[in-house]
Amino acid sequence: MKKIYLFIPILLLVTLFSCEEKKGTTTVDTTQTKPMAINASSTLRTLRDSADKAWDKMIKSDDQKVDDLARLLQEISYCKKYNALLLDSLNEVVKTLKDKRYKQLTMLSPEIDQYDELTNLVISRVKYLARTTGELKSHPIAETLFNDIAAADNDVVRYRSLYDHFAMEYNDFLDKNKELLGENVNDFPKLPLFSVIVNA
């Protein structure tokens, strides 16, 4: 009988210890975290899509500005008298503008500044060439191109601000959900912001 009584307390201790061990063990409820991670990924894709669309609008506007500069130079070439040396040099620079433009994921302050300075210089020189080509006044399309170039140039800040707005939302959400995303976080690179780069 004594052996039975000793066995019971030992059995109780083992049972109690195992219960305490279970209480101290934390388990991850994958039924909850997996859907949350999927939702986070979905939200990030939506935010990134908004940022990309804003970027595309900005680039489309800039592309049109470059195309209008090229078209204006072409119109000048139709005139009987113009500065041929300046026209040729401007044509060569305008052809390279799109290739020299900053890229969404790698843009840095120097290349943004260099592109802006080059674009401003080209616009200034094209305007000078147009003003000094007297016959261009009889080409109605020239004034339209002038206005379109000026409007696109004024829209640069607006488009960059719009892009920054969506890119910032994306970056903020990404920062807050990194742990939840786990390894999938590598699928969502942070987006550089014009406001941060220029003011750095």
Backbone dihedral angles phi then psi of residue 177, each to the nearest 5 degrees: -125, 20
Q: Flag whether 90 is in a domain.
A: yes
Which of residues 196 and 148 earns the better pLDDT score? 148
Residue-level pLDDT at 36: 73
Q: Flag whether 19 is in a domain.
A: no
Angle 102-47-200 from CA coordinates, rounded to 5°: 40
Q: Flag whether 42 is in a domain.
A: yes
Q: Which domain holds residue 112?
A: 32-199
Average pLDDT over residues 55-60: 98
Q: Flag whether 64 is in a domain.
A: yes
Q: Which residue in 173, 185, 141 sits closest to 47, CA to CA?
A: 173
pLDDT of 2 > 70? The answer is no
**Global pTM?**
0.80
Residue 78 DSSP one-character state: T
Q: Flag whether 100 is in a domain.
A: yes
Residue 137 DSSP one-character state: G
> Is the alpha carbon torsion for 122, 124, 130, 132 positive or negative?
negative
Q: Flag whether 1 is in a domain.
A: no
**Number of independent structural domains in the chain:** 1
Q: Flag whether 57 is in a domain.
A: yes
Residue-level pLDDT at 16: 42
pLDDT of 162 > 50? The answer is yes
Q: Flag whether 16 is in a domain.
A: no
Distance CA 190, CA 179 (A): 15
Average pLDDT over residues 174-186: 90
Average pLDDT over residues 51-62: 98
CB 67 within 8 A of CB 126: no
pLDDT of 9 > 90? The answer is no
